[in-house]
Structure 1
């Protein structure tokens, strides 16, 4: 099978995490840019990327890239690309667009021109003037950055953060992709205890359990490229069989999750059942209190309330001071906290060992990392 160029898109700040995931999947010659990682693979790589990437937003098939400073250049450049290699004669395709720092700034005009150019190309290749558009669906994206047009087709469909296990969510949930990134940016591994004392609907502990058991995050959902003749159901079926075989059912995980909201805990339990990891997580409906877990080298990863509304600020800061007092007693534990509160460190009472700027949806947040000592090998 031929080499194909793919783009794994990501939230700002997570590009290095996506790169590491791709390296672990066996892909090389990676090109990292803002919000994306480009790499080459074959058709099987489309299925494996969608099934296994935990922190990427989407997997895009790169059709071509060229300079376009006029609508004519955009039309001719688009028309010259081999769309017929992917879009079938009965294929239904739409065009999305975005433009940043480019002369062609009208998104609607760019979308219309790209659509027309693709149709003209397909008319010639399929020797027809009319298309049924009753077949597989294709979403084309034209992305203009500094007058460079990048043309892609989305292979994922619904965003990769939609794992299929979260039936409902509490207010202000954290995206699954960000939760997975928080875990991968921590020192947690399947042999260490993990605690989330603000678990909400359970996203962080569930993502940790999926990582600990080596369950592919996309195993319980469908992808739009499964219906493409060039990729197809057989390639995805093979990839899923291999993913099922890779699950570690023997691992014994020690994951604890709590929240003051009983309804949230009930929802988290339901979500963990949907994800197939309910036997790995100990859920409890309790308020924040001193940690009564005996393991010496634990990990706390949490997404506490941010207090976006003005009236909540005082309560949130009081909560952060309480966190500092309780977490501070765990001298040998590592703690990881994500919040948009700029004064978090002063309220918590300690400067983070490392601070990483990220985005939770459209909210700018910081990931505060407090490192405990490495576990003693003899004690492990």
Structure 2
């Protein structure tokens, strides 16, 4: 269910691109490189960031794409037909309005919250990590709250947009809270930060310090204690701007997928032997969880391409394979070792530099690899043995 509509649309588009490349007698990689969009095609605005070409070229290098023999059915490994497939992938930019609240308590620890939900996507991990960075605290000193309607407004978890929305709101809330601390000590003769503005300071070591001068610093705990305050709280709001307001086209995630499939020449059985993903995800907050997102999407793509099919009974209209005993999904033995690499840099469309990476799919690369291995263009999913016999 990742990217409903987008996954099937990407499959149709990238298979058509692959078919066009063969029609032109052109390497599918070269066709995509020649048509890379330097600016946003509908508006002509520059991208907020875009490393799609780098994804394609780095992927070709890591995968060994130059070893590919261009003719279908021209590569073999024993009795197996070998196919190399490539697909360019992307998921559009999405960021909804969002709010967050941050509180520094008397002991110097922080509580940050927003009403988004954690559904196994690693939200707690990256939001704690981001909050710690923005406040100059250790992650162990941050408690992050999610999933309650009493918390500040947040959008749904979906559209690859939660990190950008909540993270941007957390950024504004943390910056607002640090500014409030600076104002609090602005006329305080006992503070080494007296007379500072928000632009004169940085965070670190549990408090605030003058930029470039570690000796001129003060902890949140000491500031609150001296001013007899139990805590200090600030709210932040993230409001997405239009491309015209930004002066650039907000770029979603881009990537390149390379797969190698082995197809039994006699039986038509398909195995994915290798899968490589090179992704432009903007700033990656946590590479371990981000890599897991890409692996999860890839496994879903393998299921969509080769296994998963809803079968309806023609007489009753009921779903005939409504249990996991009948609805086939990939298991460990169906999944190869997967390589994931991130390229690209900070995306300028939001203050934390991220893009959404939860819905980058894989299906077209498998279908294109099957064509390269067998010479048969399959235009329906899943691709099954009987279609290749």
Q: Work out which structure has the larger RCO, using CA pairs closer than 8 Å and 6 or more positions apart in sequence.
A: 2
Tell me if TM exceeds 0.5: no
TM-score normalized by structure 1? 0.22
Say which one has the larger Rg: 2
TM-score normalized by structure 2? 0.22
